[in-house]
Amino acid sequence: MKDKILEGTTTVGITCRDGVVFASERRASMGNLVAHKVAEKIFKINNHIVTTIAGSVGDAQNLMKIIDAEISLYEMRNGDDISIKAAASLTANILRSGPLYVQTLLGGMDSSGPCLYSLDPAGGMIKDDYISTGSGSIVAYGVLEDRYHADLSVDEGLEIGLRAIKAATERDTYSGNGYLVAKVDKNGVEMLDDENINKIIAKI
């Protein structure tokens, strides 16, 4: 039997001049039921790539495991870090091979700089400066459209990302129960702890 799709999600990815920022809330809902209050929606793939997920939990967990394994194999065979574009293409090929009810953001830093892609369940792959997925994305996009500019620093991106997620949780009943935040810069991937997240939230 196919996993039930947990519908409620808002995730955000933002490309900055010195890195990429990801933010999400933590609620997983099934219809009018809050199915989980501590859902993990941001994943560190390696020290320069991060992904987010929206959709079926089982499919998402399966996809993350496959991406992790395939990227590790690629890097072992080639003796070098995979580029963000190659990692996104690899993920798109996985999605095309079978129906996985997942919408994914994938991004990070490589030799060409910061980069961000969205991938749909059919394997469509689009590069963009900022992207939001899930039920609260309409609200989040309002914040992103208003606040984004090409010269954003990672610190500014963190604030805008959390502002977008906070706005979504206030208007979308399927989003809520806290925040997850990650950044990727020249120092690698950092998952922010609650203390640092709360400091940013206090500013906005």
Residues with a known catalytic role? 9
Return the structure tokens found at 105: 């953001």
If we measure between CA atoms, which residue out of 43, 137, 21 comes closest to residue 91? 43
Other beta carbons within 10 angstroms of residue 204's beta carbon come to: 11
Distance CA 158, CA 10 (A): 15
DSSP reduced 3-state for 28: strand
Q: Residues 10, 165: contact at Cβ < 8 Å? A: yes
Distance CA 21, CA 159 (A): 10
Helix boundaries (H) for the chain: 57-78, 84-96, 137-147, 154-171, 194-203
- Partner residues linked to 108 by β-bridges: 49, 115
